[in-house]
Structure 1
Amino acid sequence: MIIRDAAVEAMDAGEADSTGEADGAGTADGAGTADGAGETAREAWRAMLALAFGGEAPSRMHTVCQAFDLTPAALKILLVLSSGPRPMRELVETFRHDPSYLTSVVDLLERRGVARREPHPTDRRAKTVALTDEGRVVFERACDLLFEPPASLRQLTPDEQAQLLRLLLRVVDAEPGIPPALRPRPVPAPPG
């Protein structure tokens, strides 16, 4: 924890990149900060993290979880399961949680009636987890609340919102680990 805190402090001071390394080494694009490109990417990432951790997202997640009697981990599993059943092993790898913790979250989802364990189609030793019909309903209703845009986005004009979406689509497309349910979709330009 102390090492991680030192890396975060170094990032705040502009001394380290997102890997905790100094002088721009290890940046995603391989570029240092000499030309400003690395610094711009860092600050764009910081802005996205600010929205995710300090904006409306945390309170929205809490509201959605309370409304549907779910934990944040359970809601994240529903997001992944919305695109189809997943083996327990894959869920453990996706979320990088201890298998016993993930088992307890799936137990909660089963008690809640939104997911069920099924035999794996090819491996008798393994189980998959799938949404139930109730789980699909809960997922859809949760997404309606979760994806409602915050007031801060209304500070942008419709053209600025469209430009932001186009740019974020490119960033999201470069991140293969994002569940399909969280991937934004292109919106056609309004007529006119």
Structure 2
Amino acid sequence: MERPGDDATLETATRVWQGLNTLVADRHNRRKEVADALGMSFSRIRALRRIAPGPLTLRELAQRMSADPPYTTVIVDDLVKRGLAERVAHPVDRRSKLVRLTAEGKAAADRAIAILTVPPDDLLALPREDIEALDRVVSKLLG
């Protein structure tokens, strides 16, 4: 990994990175809020969010969650038991099943996304030009 050339840049970048981690992981971590609202663990909510765009095989879901397949199976079993997901036949590969959300599962995923994407008040309190500057920087980093 290439590092900035001077110590001042590295020091500033380190301070920014630590600040971002504090903001996202500590001050505005909505994992507990969304888990409480939906009555399930955040790992199950992550699975709902990954399946929401469309059906996935268990293997694809495990990869998208960076989880091992047996753990993903436990999560999907629980989502099925709750009526939030279902296993359906794969249209091309008869040996494989797809996991898709039920209407209740889609509603739960939408609710989770709504909770997780609301900007914190501290961010909304910034002047518009600061928010726009942050948007440009984050867009470059995600690039």
TM-score interval (norm. to shorter): 0.7 to 0.9
**One-letter amino acid of the structure 1 residue matched with residue 24 of structure 2:** A
Q: Is the contact between residue 51 and residue 61 of structure 2 (CA under 8 Å) also seen in structure 1? A: no
Q: Distance in 2 between matches of 1:167 and 1:66?
A: 32
The match for 1:20 is none
- Alignment length, in residue pairs? 143
The match for 2:55 is 85
Higher helix share goes to which structure? 2
- Structure 2 residue 23 is the aligned partner of structure 1 residue 51: yes
The match for 1:31 is 3
- Structure 1 residue 41: deviation in Å? 3.5
The match for 1:95 is 65
Q: Is the contact between residue 85 and residue 130 of structure 1 (CA under 8 Å) also seen in structure 2? A: yes
- Structure 1 residue 65: deviation in Å? 1.1
**One-letter amino acid of the structure 1 residue matched with residue 129 of structure 2:** D
Q: Is the contact between residue 88 and residue 129 of structure 1 (CA under 8 Å) also seen in structure 2? A: yes
Residue 167 of structure 1: which of 137, 140, 143 is its match? 137
Q: What's the secondary structure of 1:125's corresponding residue? A: coil
- Structure 1 residue 106: deviation in Å? 0.8
Q: What's the secondary structure of 2:94's corresponding residue? A: coil
Structure 1 alignment gaps of length 5 or more: 1-25, 175-192
- Structure 1 residue 159: deviation in Å? 2.1
Q: Distance in 1 between matches of 2:87 and 2:118?
A: 31
TM-score (norm 1): 0.66
Q: Distance in 2 between matches of 1:140 and 1:155?
A: 26
**Within-5 A mapping of 1:1-192:** 26=1, 30-34=2-6, 36-57=8-29, 60-172=30-142, 174=143
Q: What's the secondary structure of 1:83's corresponding residue? A: coil
Given the superposition, is the C-alpha separation of residues 36 and 82 from structure 1 closer, same or farther in structure 2, using an over 3 Å criterion?
farther
Q: What's the secondary structure of 1:97's corresponding residue? A: coil
Deviates more, 1:81-90 or 1:39-48: 39-48
Q: What's the secondary structure of 1:128's corresponding residue? A: strand
Cα RMSD (Å) of the superposition? 2.0
| Offset from partner CA, 1:21-75 (integer Å, 9 cap, x none) | xxxxx3xxx1345364444443333222222221121xx2211111112211111
Q: Distance in 1 between matches of 2:31 and 2:96?
A: 31
Q: What's the secondary structure of 1:109's corresponding residue? A: helix
Q: Distance in 1 between matches of 2:4 and 2:124?
A: 34
Q: Distance in 2 between matches of 1:85 and 1:38?
A: 43
